[in-house]
Amino acid sequence: MVWNEDQRALRAAIEGLGDVLSKEHVERDAVAGFPGEGWARLRETGLFGLPFDPAWGGLGQDLLTTMYVLEGLGYACRDGGLSFSVSTHMVSTGVPLQRFGSPAIKDRYLRRVCDGSVIGAHAITEPEGGSDVMAMRTSAVLDGDAYVLNGAKSFVSNGPVAGVFVIYARTGRRGSPAAITALLVDRDTPGLTVGRPVAKMGLRTSPLCELFFDDCRVPAANVVGSPGAGFLIMDHVMKWEILCSFIVNVGEMQHRLERCAGYARTRTQFGRPIGAYQSIANKIVEMKIATETARKWLYDTAAKLRDGENVTVDIAISKLLASEGNVTSALAAVQVFGGYGYTAEYGLEKDLRNAVGGTIYSGTSDIQRQRIASMIGL
């Protein structure tokens, strides 16, 4: 891709905050602390408003520019949880509001999403549903001028710190594509209980929780799009989620590649730089191939999406290549650094723990392979 001066300047502004965003990232990961200072500094840059209409406080950038800047965030920021919370906030709440929200609902919510004064999250997965979205049990029943929500959601990224949630609930016959509706729910809505943060393997600074709904009344005016359009909205959001969150990973992979190459040139064993040994050089070459492959697939797929092409298979392939490439890259980095890579101090074991999550969230690797198989007629 060829980027113009304005696009490079946007990215440079984010990369220039690398030291601030990465400060004490190892210590914060150990206690699963949300990086509030980093969030506040990113608010000052306007990052959260990148792809949104200036009428509601956004910067009016296109998808590819947004991805380019987010790749810079991944490159500069060693706190993978912060980067994940940023992309989750923008995509889970801002993207459906921008594409499907009414002017009134944008005026109430999108402005605050764009400036980061409210943190957004969405709730799709349920405790017993896993990847089977169409089997969701959480229901929303219209009662006068409000929907009454009952049920529970799990694996809600940003949940413990979010001020507003996009909730996907069943409003029709279970299993029907027209049975799901998306609603905006404020954190302080009576009947909504935000669960305690859930301890997890990686991305620990991006907090996760469950949500519980007990006769939670949500104004019908808070429907995003129209009743029954939730599956369409979810499909649109998932495309953006994969492109934006995994281009962040590409930035992380690029930084990891450069770090390993530099270490291999200076670290000596048996009188030679370790990079002179084919076993080490090959690992770094594979890291390079994985990074470039993931980057190309993600940007090419985004260009197709921008041009209105069907990207169902492209999204699945991009997600597979980026998520699994990130895991192999992170594991190789630990091995290149040897004993140092295994210690928490260097942050590489954290990278590996973070990377594993990418093969699960936004549709597991197995789900992506099933989707590809279906599209080629198997």
Q: Provide the pLDDT for residue 173.
A: 82
Q: What are phi and psi of 233, to 5 degrees?
A: -65, -45
Within its chain, how far is the Cα of 8 from the centroid?
A: 22
Q: Return the H-helix or E-strand segment holding 352.
A: helix 348-357
State how far the Cα of 99 lies from the Cα of 264, in Å rounded to an integer. 47
Beta-strand relationship, 164-170 and 180-186: antiparallel
CB atoms within 10 A of CB 88: 25
Q: Name the residue type at position 278.
A: Q
Q: Provide the pLDDT for residue 39.
A: 98
Q: Would you say 185 and 192 are in contact if contact means Cβ atoms under 8 Å apart?
A: yes
What CA dihedral angle connects 338, 344, 349 and 351, to 10 degrees? -130
Q: DSSP string covering 40-81, please?
A: HHHHHHTGGGTTS-GGGT-----HHHHHHHHHHHHHH---HH
Return the structure tokens found at 207. Answer: 């907090």
Q: Provide the pLDDT for residue 350.
A: 98
State how far the Cα of 83 lies from the Cα of 85, in Å rounded to an integer. 5
Return the structure tokens found at 21. Answer: 């965003």
Q: Provide the pLDDT for residue 354.
A: 98
Return the structure tokens found at 177. Answer: 């594509």
Sign, CA dihedral 364-175-227-151, equals: negative
Full pLDDT tens readout for the chain, 378 residues = 889 999 999 999 999 999 999 999 999 999 999 999 999 999 999 999 999 999 999 999 999 999 999 999 999 999 999 999 999 999 999 999 999 999 999 999 999 999 999 999 999 999 887 667 777 899 999 999 999 999 999 999 999 999 999 999 999 887 777 899 999 999 999 999 999 999 999 999 999 999 999 999 999 999 999 999 999 999 999 999 999 999 999 999 999 999 999 999 999 999 999 999 999 999 999 999 999 999 999 999 999 999 999 999 999 999 999 999 999 999 999 999 999 999 999 999 999 999 999 999 999 999 999 999 999 999
Return the structure tokens found at 197. Answer: 């943060």
Q: How many residues does the chain have?
A: 378
5 labelled catalytic: no
Please report, for residues 15, 65, 68, 69, the alpha-carbon distance to residue 9 in angstroms, rounded to integers and kept in the order given: 10, 11, 11, 9
Q: Would you say 234 and 182 are in contact if contact means Cβ atoms under 8 Å apart?
A: yes
Beta-strand relationship, 272-273 and 146-157: unpaired
Q: Provide the pLDDT for residue 131.
A: 65
**Catalytic entry in 15, 126, 210, 241:** 241
Three-class secondary structure of residue 23 per DSSP:
coil
In three-state form (DSSP H/G/I as H, E/B as E, the rest C), the secondary structure along 229-262 is CHHHHHHHHHHHHHHHHHHHHHHHHHHHHHHHHH
